[in-house]
Chains A and B, each alone.
Chain A
């Protein structure tokens, strides 16, 4: 298996949640439409004589996503027509962007998911973004016996295409990248990025080369119809294995488009789409070109993203460990909540000596603190009550310790023989007897003292 290296790139389509469509003022809400074909007009139905007028917000959101992916925003851009015939494509061409996308040459850092040696487990990997461009979505086809039904509610909905370089060599990195990308999109608020509904669509292209081969493989296979991150991983794993099998026979896998089949976690050839494509791109004459002043580009501001928040949480006064910081920072709402509660609690006199940040982060991540106490004020009161050191009844403690030691002879022996962990079991037993009304640190102290004496 080490003889081969997968070469994987991604094409991701994201539907923007603008109010109106890309090139007309029709309502952009295809998933909540109560009926088919109720959000159409001459433009998105491709009627004779209709003309497109681009949606400024769709352009700006494409730019915003490009910026969030560390892309260069091109000062000159334009739309092009991409031609092919399909019943869901009303004009016989899709208005897209060919050689002058809105954004290009970006990158996203992910944590390396697979590492050769343990000490490199935190190493980051940079995935290069080839381009980010704006285009229009097609209508939707449904198959019903001998008929194919077409609904154009989705026709013309703004669609951003993100294309990565073929920088991935394993499916785990792909999944990590997609989770991160999804998080960025949701944070920007430009899309629901719902894979089930299809407002985020994933198309990996996969090939495999011999490990010692420096050049890229001469073929690639694109997989469509994938609606979850896990399925992407499964599709890639399936394909890689399939390609290796073919390569082992000294053959080359066919360049083609395949569809993912959920039931079997495998892929099948989509032969109907295999006709040689010649999209005959040319500049869309109905839309004048785009030219952006640097000042305008600068005015599109990327809000704080998860990575920025994570950095904040890893610094003083929080000093959270990376894992905790990362998990809290994923959602802006959760981070904001953490910060409010932290502000209200961390300098509370009763909590001196306690790592409030860490405890609070754990309560949020593991104990549904946010859900149970959504109001930071109430939450702060609860948190202080919960984590402040307990007053300990020392007299009661003394007698209980004796009882616990007496009834746990075996554990005490273990401890004496050097099994230090055993002490925690005993602390737990005492705490139980005290019905939690004790400071575990004090209990441990007392226990150690007692055991030393014996």
Chain B
């Protein structure tokens, strides 16, 4: 299958005319036709003929020196504004919203010559960790369709896992890229806050939201990151720090000895034993790559969720205030219960009389978290952690108790308030053949280091090459 190839291989193949962009698009639609009804990954699919026309045009216009993403079909989480193409954030509030403008990330990808083929299902507004809180039906896990795909970027993860697209853009506010990456056995990068422009990203929590690649491998993520990273005059919070040659740097391991910190608090009570064992067994692989494992301590860990779940909903209650049904979309009665719950929580945490005890207190503890990460990352280069406390849950399981939805984010929600980047990648499987993910967290703007470590690891292992049985059947 062409889509099993890496982006660089695909680019080489297109350059040598071994296959065409049209072939790639056809293969995507073949897989979409096979699996979409089962998995419900797409909210909006570009008309096949239209996509093929675009691919043919790209094939005709192909010139040496084009971007590595040229002619490659991709998908966007439906949190990204796409000009003239329905954008819903998986909510009925935006069921018929056709944006008259484009997100910066989509603009950049279009400019690189990549071909957008669809907008992906997710937890509405990013509110959730399972892609069940969507007004377009839950996304199913290709490894076990009775289970959730993870979220909130569930649709994009499924699309990569089942080869419906070459790469995807996800959005991570508290684990929304990493959680579904872990549960669908793909690789996803939560970038440093500000590394990629948020302009045109439907906001969940403005000071946490990040835009990042989801793909088969760390190497593919590096290629995509190179195309989307950088300062944007339309986003005041995007960073002027220069981007790097993430792909070239994969081969240049500039550090002599990488020290990987393992915080004991992240491997304690509440972590599924199979996940714990799987991640611990990666230590050997890292050691064989010449890296050192050091135990470290991050005692604030327990307060991570409260910080995330006080600030996140506060910001979301503000960000979702614009949905009044006047200028676009439907009125506020169309919000799902989970979204209303988060709006209510945030409004409460910001309201007079509770502001100091909740919002303000959380912003102070956030400062302590920043210090805790700075201290930890002074003792090591990167931190190794689980992504999720459990393997993918059964569909419906998380919906019964709002607190258990929150707990699914326990390992991924502390990085966003701090801003640091994190790479989630496959680390093994449970006895029941459910994927297990790990994440590597680094200092601000250390994407290159994270991708390099991920790339080295993936050259030594083959977890990331495994595909769900659904795909094997048809191959």
Contact = CB atoms under 8 A, between A and B. Distances in A.
Interface in A287-304: 287-288
B403 interface: no
A50 interface: yes
A381 interface: no
Contacts of B203: 48-49
B237 A288 contact: yes
Nearest to A81: B318
Given A48-B94, A278-B351, A83 B326 contact: no
Contact of A53 (B234, B314, B326): B234
A286 B323 CA distance: 18
17 contacts: A41-B101, A42-B81, A45-B327, A47-B328, A48-B202, A49-B81, A49-B103, A51-B237, A53-B235, A83-B318, A85-B321, A92-B324, A93-B318, A152-B327, A280-B317, A286-B237, A288-B237
A49 B321 contact: no
Nearest to B314: A282
B99 to A, nearest CB: 7
Interface stretch (B113-121, B193-201, B391-399, B424-432): B193-201
Given A46-B322, A54-B236, A83-B321, A285 B347 contact: no
Interface in B302-344: 314-315, 317-318, 320-324, 326-328
B236 A53 contact: yes
B451 interface: no
A51 B202 contact: no
A248 B317 CA distance: 46
B390 interface: no
Given A48-B94, A50-B199, A282 B318 contact: yes
Nearest to A277: B352
A411 to B, nearest CB: 78
Nearest to B125: A48
Contacts of A440: none
B402 interface: no
B198 A51 contact: yes
A49 B318 contact: no
Dominant SS among interface residues on chain B: loop
A283 to B, nearest CB: 9
Interface in A20-51: 41-42, 45-51
B176 interface: no
A52 B236 contact: yes
Interface of A: 41-42, 45-54, 81, 83, 85, 87, 90-93, 150, 152, 278, 280, 282, 285-288
Contacts of B351: 278, 280
A282 B347 CA distance: 11
Given A90-B327, A278-B352, A286-B206, A49 B199 contact: yes
A272 to B, nearest CB: 17
A278 B237 CA distance: 28
Contacts of A81: 318
- Greatest chain B CB density within 10 A among A47, A48, A49, A93 is at A48
A50 B102 CA distance: 10
Given A49-B203, A278-B352, A90 B234 contact: no
A150 B324 CA distance: 13
B236 A47 contact: no
Contacts of B352: 278, 280
A285 B315 contact: yes
B83 to A, nearest CB: 11
Given A45-B327, A47-B99, A282-B350, A53 B322 contact: no
Contacts of A91: 321-322
Contact of B321 (A52, A53, A93): A93
- Greatest chain A CB density within 10 A among B236, B320, B347 is at B236
A48 B81 contact: yes
Contact of A51 (B97, B199, B314): B199
B322 A49 contact: no
A48 B81 CA distance: 8
A83 B318 CA distance: 7
Given A92-B318, A282-B314, A285-B315, 10 more contacts: A42-B100, A49-B199, A50-B101, A51-B235, A52-B236, A54-B236, A92-B324, A93-B318, A280-B347, A282-B350
A46 B327 contact: yes
A83 B202 CA distance: 19
Interface string B207-227: 100000000000000000000
A288 B94 contact: no
A82 B433 CA distance: 50
A49 B80 CA distance: 8
A126 to B, nearest CB: 34
A30 B314 CA distance: 33
B427 to A, nearest CB: 33
A259 B14 CA distance: 70
B90 interface: no
Nearest to A284: B206
Minimum-distance CB pairs A-B, first 7:
A92-B321, A285-B207, A280-B350, A285-B206, A49-B200, A48-B202, A49-B81
